A and B are shown apart, each in its own frame.
Chain A
Amino acid sequence: MNEIKDVSKSNYKWVGKRTRRPDGPDKVTGRAQYGDDLVLPGMLCGKILRSPHAHAKILSIDTSKAEALKGVKAIVTHKDIPDHALLEPPFGPVIADFYDITRNVLAREKVLYDGHAVAGVAATSDRIASAALKLIEVEYEVLSHVLDPFEAAQPDAPVLHEHQFTNGVTPAPEKPSNVFRVVSTERGDLEAGFANADIIVEREFSSEPVHQGYIEPQALIASASEDGAVELWTTTQGHFVIRGLCSRLLNIDMSKIRVTASEIGGGFGGKNNLYAEPLAICLSQKSGKPVRMVMSRSDVFRGTGPASGTYSRIRMGAKNDGTIVAAEAEIYNQAGAFKGSPVGRSLDSFFSSYAIENAKATAYDVCVNRPKVAAYRAPGAPMATLGAELTINEIAEKLNIDPIDLRLKNAVQDGGESLCGVKYGRIGLNEVLETVKSHPHYLAPLKANQGRGFALGYWMHGGGLSSVNANLLDDGTVSVATGNPDIGGSRSSMRVMAAEELGVELENVKPIVADTGSMGYSHLTAGSRTTFATGLAVINSVREIIEKLRALAAKKWEISVEDVTWEAGQAVTHRDGFESLTLKQLAGMATKMGGPIAGHSEINACGAGAAFSAQIVDVEVDPETGLSSVKRYTIIQDAGRAISPDYVEGQMQGGAVQGIGWALNEEYFYDDEGHLLNSGFLDYRMPVASDLPMIDTVIVEVPNPNHPYGVRGVGEPPLIPAPAAVANAVENAIGRKLGSLPLSPPKVLKAIETGMPRES
């Protein structure tokens, strides 16, 4: 069942209505062109040779036999890609170190994970390219490796980067370390807080790396021309970002690279990064032909993503009345082969739903011999939330307080701030928690072997850089071009907002995702920023058109523009003797009375809102096999305002199901040599339709005051509390403490037989 609780009782023509998406017909008929669907004349097939070792020195690469194979047109190794200097401190929250990026794109001195790209080949056919890969001779010296972040942080662990010394510790270390940095945030007096506590709960947690699991593998075509220009077609969450990265990495003028985003078959953060693009550009430059590169599913698992695996410790103290007086957290985030795990977002995610006077969180960014981690839907948050929320539930149980009441007692209020100091404006946390408390699911009885879990998640949404061009056409229709790939219905929400502003029918607005040559910079479709930030730019652009239309009507009527208003798609004046002019009439006269009408907006959107997602889940555990089945699931989330409720619900449902997979099934298996054993969907077990019930949603609408329609963003929060909620349900079903994801049947069975009982 899906409900909407609109706190502000709004009344719009299109906003909040269930409308069909503009790109829908192309996607149900097979017309939509994804990364792998474009064909260019004369195009070559590109393939990547990947490391067979988890950690090894590259002694030599001999490509001569492969080059001699008929049909092979170009080969690239690290020698063909420029090197870059190592980034120096201070380091920002998000690190783009081209020293690392160039080495991740193609290994130089060492290979750092099974599947690390070593060379690229372009040939006239798939078969010849595959044959050429086998003819490339690479000599390795195998080194010992480490896969676990906690083990990798120990002083005797094999070191990936001899030049890396831990940042953020004093005294400065003398030995290189896999720990790139230690970051922390703190408020109040932690020890005084614990001294004041009536009870203290302390627990350990771990979570495995999980892949974003988009169904469309990375795929692209690069075409370099004789004059140095590069055309790139790729499946990405940010074609402007890809342009910038390729330009800097390959030393090509930014204006010479034009990137077109294909339709994107899922990303979830995993398509924010560079992988094969620079190789394909180099292969095209060398061969003079367009080069298509498509990853196999095995390439995707071995070479891209995942989210960080983690080890964490949580300690929380509370008074007997439920007031949480102290909270401390520590987390080791696996970064993969290169620094840059989402430590900042982990810190901010532990306790930021609560007003805890004394709190501290510390995070370690740890390199291990696995693929470099990529963003995955609320990067850093679900794994921090796992420990914090399970600990809070244990406090509630120990104090015999309802877990929602405990949270209401400690909930952060309007004007409060997150643990990292992010200031909240108007937030919907109380409304979300009150909705949980009265929800039929929360009050429903459970059956035998079932447990109910609950968890709360927090996310501060993104704003940032967005550009929009809106053009009024002669027939009165409007094209709205954004620079954001449409990953889950953003064209629909852009169209809704534009049509709402203009007061016209949806069919009169055509949303477009434009290429990098056509308009100003737009940041990634990521961080739940697009409907908020790019939406603001759409509204600005359309309002500029409306201003110009008012001026045009004033000119036509020979009256002052102040006397013209825009109402329901028409220019109107209160003065007598003038008949309103429709958008269509004005569009028809524009070119004859001054010229074409367009609006554009280039912004750095600020004021994105914080949002909270609360989740209730019932899990049934088979006591004989340890198999956990989700029986009922309800998501209650503040979306600010749902522009397109169908797609808001879709985000909530999809995010929660990713969390179910994270909690119950998904993990990587490696052998003793560090080879990934399950690089396919058969053994990397994502949830399927028969695993699941319907996923109920309640959209709570507490509008964000910094957006004309109150948008907060919706994509990240639904994943954040899901692993914690599911784990809590399994704990309650079997009466044992569980802290190590995934809760696979053998692990649950072992916990039933020998696990630590829950204290009452």
Chain B
Amino acid sequence: MSKYLISANINGDEVDFACYADQTLMEVLRENLHMTGTKNGCGSGDCGACTVIMNGRPVNSCLVLGAELQGADIETIEGMSKGNELHPLQQKFLDHAALQCGICTPGFLNMAKSLLEKNPDPTETEVRFALAGNLCRCTGYDKIVRAVLDAAEEMRTTTS
């Protein structure tokens, strides 16, 4: 089987890679590029652990093919902090203890970031529905929802 040569923009950098037709974006990130911050929980789009932002929209990277990525903009967890400065969502996840084992955290952070870009002032219910495709088995979601609401408030204050 021959490979496709793809150029994509990942976290602001142009990245070239070769992938098979049936390789997913998750596999490309994890196996080809060793960007293992994107987590594999199910490989079937049911858990959200592999959520990344593709052309401004959150996607399950296990449901996107690598070969589709020519010219695409991809944001992964590795690009969320700026230098040593954590994104407000990352800060708030730490402040609110919104993670226990941490395996679902990168996916939640990307999904929450997408939500707040579209809706900077979500209600608790809107946060819960936006995050309903991301499974967490440790926290019962309480502290995650609080962290997202608190981050939203802080981001509104600093941008206004």
By beta carbon, the residue of chain A nearest B126 is A690
A488 adjacent to B80 (CB under 8 Å):
no
Which residue of chain A is the closest to B90 with respect to CB atoms?
A28
* Interface-lining segment among B2-10, B63-71, B96-104, B152-160: B96-104
Interface members, chain A 187-219 (any B CB < 8 Å): 212-217
Q: Min CB distance, A655 to chain B, in Å?
A: 8
Which chain A residues border B102 with CB–CB below 8 Å?
23, 27-28, 32, 263, 265
Given contacts A24-B99, A489-B100, A681-B46, contact A215 B41 (CB under 8 A): yes
Chain A 684-703, CB-CB to B under 8 Å as 1, else 0, gives: 00111111101100000000
- Contact indicator B41/A692 (Cβ below 8 Å): no
CB distance B137 to A658 under 8 Å?
yes
Q: Smallest distance from the beta carbon of B70 to chain A beta carbons, Å?
A: 23
Q: Within the complex, what minimum Cβ distance (angstroms) separates A398 from chain B?
A: 33
**Contact between B140 and A217, CB atoms less than 8 A apart:** no
- Contact among A31, A297, A655 for B41, CB-based, below 8 A: A297
Bound form: Cα–Cα A686–B38 in Å: 22
Interchain CA distance A28-B105 in the complex, whole Å: 6
Interface residues of B toward A: which range?
Answer: 35 or more
> Which A residues lie within 8 Å of B96 (CB)?
646
Which residues of B (31-73) have their CB < 8 Å from a CB of A? 34-44, 46-47, 49
Q: Is A288 an interface residue (CB 8 A)?
A: no
Q: Decide if B116 is an interface residue (CB 8 Å cutoff).
A: no
Q: A29 near B37 (CB under 8 angstroms)?
A: yes
Contacts of B77 in A (CB 8 A): 28-30
B140 partner residues in chain A, CB cutoff 8 A: 650, 653-657, 687, 692, 695
Q: Is the CB of A20 within 8 A of B100?
A: no
B15 within 8 A of A: no
A354 within 8 A of B: no
Residue pair A25, B94 in contact (C-beta under 8 Å): yes
Q: Is the CB of A30 within 8 A of B38?
A: yes
The chain A residue sitting closest to B47, CB to CB, is A681
Q: A150 near B: Cβ within 8 Å?
A: no
User: Is B135 within 8 A of A694, CB to CB?
Assistant: no
Q: Which stretch from A33-41, A137-145, A735-743 is at the chain B interface?
A: A33-41
Within 8 A of B (CB), among A388-403: none
Contact, CB under 8 Å: A488 / B46 = no
The complex places the Cα of A489 from the Cα of B102 at a distance, in Å, of 10
Please state if B101 and A216 are interface contacts (CB–CB under 8 Å): yes
**Does chain B have a CB within 8 A of A435?**
no
Question: Which chain A residues lie closer than 8 Å to B44 at the CB level?
Answer: 297, 680-682
**Chain A CB within 8 A of B136 CB:** yes
Decide if A30 touches B36 in the complex (CB within 8 Å): yes
Residues of B within 8 A of A21 (CB): 94, 97
Whether the pair A216, B39 counts as a contact (CB closer than 8 A) is yes
Q: Which of B105-127 contact A (CB under 8 A)?
A: 105-106, 109, 124-125, 127
Q: Measured between C-beta atoms, what is the minimum distance from B44 to chain A in Å?
A: 6
Instruction: Judge whether B141 is part of the interface by a CB distance below 8 angstroms.
Output: yes
CA distance A265 to B41 in the complex (A): 9
Q: Answer yes or no: B95 CB below 8 A from chain A CBs.
A: yes
The docked-state distance in angstroms from the alpha carbon of A266 to that of B134 is 15
A37 adjacent to B36 (CB under 8 Å): yes
A14 at interface, CB cutoff 8 A: no
For residue B88, give the distance in angstroms from its CB to the closest CB of chain A: 11
Contact A31 B37 (CB under 8 A): yes
Contact call A34/B97, Cβ cutoff below 8 A: no
Whether, in the assembled complex, A157 has its beta carbon less than 8 Å from a beta carbon of chain B, the answer is: no
Contact mask A352-364 → B, CB, 8 Å, 1/0? 0000000000000
Query: Is B103 in contact with A34, judged by CB distance below 8 angstroms?
Result: yes
Q: Smallest distance from the beta carbon of B94 to chain A beta carbons, Å? A: 4
- Whole-angstrom distance between the alpha carbons of A95 and B105 in the complex? 36
Q: Is B34's CB under 8 angstroms from A39's CB?
A: yes
Is there contact, CB below 8 Å, between B137 and A650? no
Chain B residue at smallest Cβ distance from A211: B137
* A215 close to B49 (CB less than 8 A): yes
**Which A residues touch B145, using CB under 8 A?**
689, 694
Taken together as a complex, chains A and B put the C-alpha atoms of A21 and B43 apart, in Å, by: 29
Contact residue among A212, A297, A647, A650 (Cβ-Cβ distance under 8 Å from B43):
A297
CB-CB under 8 A from B20, the residues of chain A are 127
Report the interface size class on chain A: 35 or more
Distance of A39 from chain B, by nearest CB (Å) = 6
Per DSSP, chain A at the interface is loop
Residues of B within 8 A of A25 (CB): 86, 90, 94
A183 interface residue (CB < 8 Å to B)? no
Contact of B131 among A266, A653, A689, A694 (CB under 8 A): A689
Task: Pick the most buried of B34, B127, B135, B145: most chain A CB atoms within 10 A of its CB.
Answer: B135
User: For residue B76, which residues in chain A have a CB less than 8 angstroms away from its CB?
Assistant: 30
Closest to B97 in A: A646
> How far does the Cβ of B60 sit from chain A's closest Cβ, in whole Å?
12
CB distance from A484 to the nearest CB of B (A): 14
B137 closest partner in A (C-beta): A213
Q: In the bound complex, do residue B143 and residue A30 qualify as a contact, i.e. CB atoms below 8 Å apart?
A: no
Closest to A644 in B: B97
- For residue A27, which residue of chain B has the nearest CB? B102
- A34 touching B105 in the complex, CB below 8 Å, given contacts A214-B137, A653-B139, A657-B141: no
Chain A residues, Cβ within 8 Å of B136: 215, 689
Whether B46 and A487, one on each chain, are in contact in the complex, defined by CB atoms closer than 8 angstroms, is no
Whole-angstrom CA separation of A267 from B42 in the bound complex: 15
**Contact A297:B42 (CB < 8 A) given known A29-B90, A686-B135, A689-B132:** yes
* Contact for A264 among B99, B101, B143, CB less than 8 A: B101
CB-defined contacts of A487 to chain B, threshold 8 Å: 100-101
Taken together as a complex, chains A and B put the C-alpha atoms of A300 and B128 apart, in Å, by: 27
With known contacts A213-B137, A689-B145, A36–B99 Cβ distance under 8 A: no
Q: Is A180 in contact with chain B by the CB < 8 A criterion?
A: no
- The residue among A214, A216, A296 with the most chain B CB atoms within 10 A of its own CB is A216
Find out whether the CB atom of A216 lies under 8 angstroms from the CB atom of B41. Answer: yes
CB distance from B135 to the nearest CB of A (A): 6
| A residues in contact with B47, CB < 8 Å | 215, 297, 681
Residues of A within 8 A of B128 (CB): 689-690, 692
Is there contact, CB below 8 Å, between B135 and A681? yes
B residues less than 8 Å from A36 (CB atoms):
30, 36, 40
Nearest chain A CB to B37's CB is how many angstroms away? Answer: 2
Residue of A296, A658, A688, A694 touching B142 (CB-CB under 8 A):
A694
Please give, as numbers and ranges, the residues of chain A lying within 8 Å of B124 by CB-CB distance. Answer: 694
* In contact, A28 and B99 (Cβ under 8 angstroms): yes
CB of A268 within 8 Å of the partner chain: yes
Q: B144 on the interface (CB 8 Å rule)?
A: yes
Asked if A647 contacts B41 (CB within 8 A), the reply is no
Contacting residues, chain A, for B132 (C-beta < 8 A): 688-691
Contacts of A686 in B (CB 8 A): 135, 137
A691 surroundings in chain B (CB, below 8 A): 132
Give every chain A residue within 8 A of B40 (Cβ-Cβ): 36, 217, 294
**Could you tell me the distance between the alpha carbons of A650 and B101 in the complex, rounded to whole angstroms?**
11
Q: Is the CB of A266 within 8 A of B97?
A: no
Pairs A-B, 9 closest by C-beta atoms:
A30-B37, A265-B103, A27-B102, A657-B140, A646-B97, A653-B140, A681-B46, A30-B77, A488-B100
Q: Apart from A267-B101, A649-B143, what are 14 other A-B pairs with CB-CB below 8 Å? A: A20-B95, A27-B99, A29-B90, A32-B102, A216-B103, A265-B101, A266-B100, A297-B44, A489-B100, A650-B100, A650-B139, A653-B142, A657-B140, A658-B137
18 CB < 8 A contacts A-B: A18-B97, A24-B94, A28-B77, A29-B37, A34-B39, A36-B30, A214-B137, A215-B49, A216-B39, A263-B103, A266-B103, A266-B138, A297-B41, A297-B43, A488-B100, A646-B143, A686-B135, A690-B128
B interface residues, Cβ below 8 angstroms from A: 20, 30, 34-44, 46-47, 49, 76-78, 80-81, 86, 90, 93-97, 99-106, 109, 124-125, 127-129, 131-146
